[in-house]
Amino acid sequence: MTATTTEQAVSTYTPAAESLNAVLAAGQAPPRPSAWSASVTFGWRALLKIKHVPEQLADVTAFPIMMTLMFTYLFGGALAGSVTEYLQYLLPGIMVTSVVMITMYTGIGVNTDIEKGVFDRFRTLPIWRPAALVGALFGDVLRYVMAATVILVVGLILGFRPDGGVDGVLLAMVLLVVFSFAFSWIWTMFGLLLRSEKSVMGVSMMVLFPLTFLSNVFVEPETMPGWLRAFVEANPITHLVAAVRGLMQGTPDAGEITWVLVSAAVLVAVFGGLTMRLYNRK
């Protein structure tokens, strides 16, 4: 049916000078959009893509549920003696791990998107240059929020009872999403730098696995050998987990929160800058 109507549309169309002239005559340019408005428009594009391909949400729904269940029951008995008890410690960490891992899809998305002709058009528009990438990250922020929410809900069902209350949990999630937005610029850089989706995936794994596992997500660093402990304590994920855990447990640590915000700013400055250099060269 679709094919038939398509054929008809092709065969009956004759370009009419009158209507095309009217279109051309009405083509004056409005004032160019602000950086913010252009970025938001690209964010809207990301939402439209989610609407048309909802399957892509599996990584922010199924994956986090799997992570939470797997690690809670795998380590719960052995590490803390009780699943519920371990969950109080683990949940903030598993939320950080899942969301930070999901950031790698940003790089894959940029890598596949940029190869398509539509990016050529975006890059010939007189708009704020980073808007296309910032907008894509806005879409990703929504995905991070979804993933964090899914984990929170699963956690609450399993018996997670945060002492920080609603405020503490919300602030923790905001902090996590802010850091993840900043962290994503690493992937936009690799997305532009590397030639294929697979190599982006490979590099992401190599960075993300040590970064998330060699941290305080699963166990306290006190039990680790000195060299590993040194790495774990320098690992930004450790600081992020400490800050998120503090907020959720009602014992916010201003030092850790500041550390996270400063490193987020540094990530955006460094990797955002590198990304834009690559974007302009591409």
Residues near other proteins (CB under 8 A):
2, 5-7, 9-17, 19-33, 37-38, 41-42, 44-45, 48-49, 52-53, 116-118, 120-127, 131, 281
Comparison of 25 and 78: residue with beta carbon closer to other proteins: 25
Q: Do the Cβ atoms of 91 and 68 come closer than 8 Å?
A: yes
Comparison of 117 and 225: residue with beta carbon closer to other proteins: 117
Least Å distance between CB 230 and other proteins? 43
Least Å distance between CB 267 and other proteins? 27
At residue 113, what are phi and psi to the nearest 5 degrees?
-65, -45
Q: Do the Cβ atoms of 250 and 162 come closer than 8 Å?
A: yes
Least Å distance between CB 47 and other proteins? 10
Comparison of 19 and 223: residue with beta carbon closer to other proteins: 19
Least Å distance between CB 102 and other proteins? 20
Q: Do the Cβ atoms of 140 and 46 come closer than 8 Å?
A: yes
Tokens in use for 206? 């190599």
Residue 78 Cα to chain centre, angstroms: 32
Comparison of 85 and 120: residue with beta carbon closer to other proteins: 120
Alpha helices in 194-253, H assignment, sequence order = 197-213, 226-234, 236-248
Comparison of 197 and 233: residue with beta carbon closer to other proteins: 197
Q: Do the Cβ atoms of 137 and 184 come closer than 8 Å?
A: yes
Helix axes 236-248, 254-267, angle to 10 degrees: 130
Least Å distance between CB 189 and other proteins? 19
